[in-house]
Chains A and B, each alone.
Chain A
């Protein structure tokens, strides 16, 4: 079992929809959780960073961590074609980031 599981997609939704991207993790000791966005063949860009449980909001993006179920989510409201990218979740363990495989998101105009 991988330490961080993420459905690779692709996930295709119409413009304006609310997008839900999810990851599960196996180790309850993980405390820090991150979401990165990667446009094709570009460097990943840090979107959201959360510590422990709860929600964090930044504009159209909301990151949610549920430690009881070891589940992390990223919600995108009012999705735009420019949001089309691969979204990677990650957690911090012993000076390394443990990465999900990334979910490819396609927003259809």
Chain B
């Protein structure tokens, strides 16, 4: 158990809908990262927050947004969902702003029908 929690574990929704994924980092970690992993694909970095502020952006679509709250939990919002958005979404956390030594949560499996 990495100490990173993600909810929900599974999410099934329809095209055009909006969902919110939630992540709680390890105690004491200030950085949160979001990743997307499609079936049999590598990890795609989406976005990083450090202590409430956006620090780095990867291949995140405009339909996706995220934020980190004062209690350091983070939410990833996915809107106007398409079939291709079906994937595993992972959250990771680390103690510092630097990206090394990230600890991953169990992921949220999103299925868009």
Contact = CB atoms under 8 A, between A and B. Distances in A.
> Chain A: interface secondary structure?
strand
B103 interface: yes
A32 B102 CA distance: 12
Interface in A86-109: 88, 92-97, 99-102
B43 A96 contact: no
B38 to A, nearest CB: 12
Contacts, number: 56
A43 B90 CA distance: 7
Contacts of B105: 43
B104 A96 contact: no
Given A42-B107, A43-B107, A92 B43 contact: no
Given A94-B56, A95-B56, A99-B43, A32 B106 contact: no
A44 interface: yes
A102 B92 CA distance: 18
A57 to B, nearest CB: 18
A97 B90 CA distance: 14
What's the interface size class on B, roughly?
Answer: 20 to 34
Q: Bin the interface of chain A by size.
A: 20 to 34
30 contacts: A34-B100, A34-B101, A41-B88, A41-B109, A42-B106, A42-B107, A43-B4, A43-B92, A43-B104, A43-B106, A43-B107, A44-B43, A44-B90, A44-B104, A45-B104, A46-B103, A88-B42, A92-B98, A92-B99, A92-B100, A94-B56, A95-B48, A95-B55, A96-B99, A97-B99, A97-B100, A99-B42, A99-B43, A99-B45, A100-B42
Interface of B: 2, 4, 33, 42-43, 45, 48, 55-56, 58, 88, 90, 92, 97-107, 109
Interface of A: 32, 34, 36, 41-46, 49, 88, 92-97, 99-102
